[in-house]
């Protein structure tokens, strides 16, 4: 039976992290652009801002060196918490609450 050649590749985690940050930032910008086209739906703006907050917080978490500064970690965590809260507010706004 012939052996099947398997290729192994290493996933570069910093690259995956950078792509995640950029994709969430682009998603947030697209949601804000959609909101500018239809201002009667404030949920789009809240979701867009939430995505941008999350992207900024994730980028701050990823930029730390060997010994991260405490202000950087606290600011990043605050931005991520604000992102979750803003997206939750967007979901409530979308449902009319």
* Ramachandran sector of residue 84 (left: φ over 0; alpha: ψ -120 to 50; beta: rest): alpha
- Report residue 3's pLDDT band, with 50, 70 and 90 as the boundaries: low
Within a domain: residue 33? Answer: yes
Within a domain: residue 90? Answer: yes
Q: What's the predicted TM-score (pTM) here?
A: 0.81
- In whole angstroms, give the CA distance from residue 19 to residue 28: 14
pLDDT tens digits, 32-68: 999 999 899 899 999 999 999 999 999 998 887 666 7
Within a domain: residue 26? Answer: yes
- Three-state DSSP class for residue 30: helix
Q: Which pLDDT value is given to residue 96?
A: 85
In this predicted structure, the answer to whether residue 5 has a pLDDT above a threshold of 90 is no
Which range of residues forms the domain containing residue 84? 15-61+68-94
**How many domains does one find in the chain?**
1
């Amino acid at each position: 039976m012939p052996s099947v050649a398997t290729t192994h590749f290493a996933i570069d985690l910093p690259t995956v992290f950078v792509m995640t940050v950029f994709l969430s930032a682009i998603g947030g910008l697209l949601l804000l652009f959609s909101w500018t086209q239809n201002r009667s739906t404030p949920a789009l703006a809240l979701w867009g801002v939430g995505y941008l907050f999350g992207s900024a917080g994730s980028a701050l978490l990823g930029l730390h060196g060997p010994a991260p500064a405490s202000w950087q970690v606290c600011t990043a965590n605050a931005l991520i918490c604000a992102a979750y809260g803003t997206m939750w507010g967007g979901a409530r706004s979308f449902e009319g609450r």
